[in-house]
Amino acid sequence: MKTHLLIFAVTLLTLTACTKEEKEECNCGVITADEITTNADGSSCYSLEIRNDCTNNKKTWCFDYDVWLDGNLGESFCVTNVTSW
């Protein structure tokens, strides 16, 4: 009986020790450039170029003026509705 209890305790301890590792968020990075451009239709693009923390890839995104104004070079920035780039 003691061996069954010991085996059960070791199994339970092993299962509780194995926790699922948290996945690193890969939709964040560092702002490397900012620019204002005019699109072909005459609208403005307030763009931020962001280097992804996970992949080191750079991508340029257009945001509204308020988001663009608050984003400073060298700051960390997360893009919502995107998993990675």
**What pLDDT sits at residue 83?**
87
State whether the Cα torsion 21-26-27-33 is positive or negative: positive
Residue ranges, the chain, pLDDT below 70: 1-24
Closest CA to 26 of 50, 48, 7, 8: 50
Domain residue ranges of the chain, discontinuous segments joined by +: 28-80
Which pTM does this prediction carry?
0.67
Task: Lay out the sheet containing 76-78: strands in order across.
Answer: 58-63, 44-52, 28-38, 76-78
What's the pLDDT score for residue 72?
Answer: 96
DSSP 42: S
Q: Which of 39, 29, 43 is nearest to 71 (CA)?
A: 29
In this prediction, residue 10 carries a pLDDT of 63
The DSSP secondary-structure symbol of 83 reads: -
Give yes or no for a contact between 38 and 44, defined as CB atoms under 8 angstroms apart.
yes
Two tokens at 53?
């923390």
Residue 25 is predicted with a pLDDT of 78
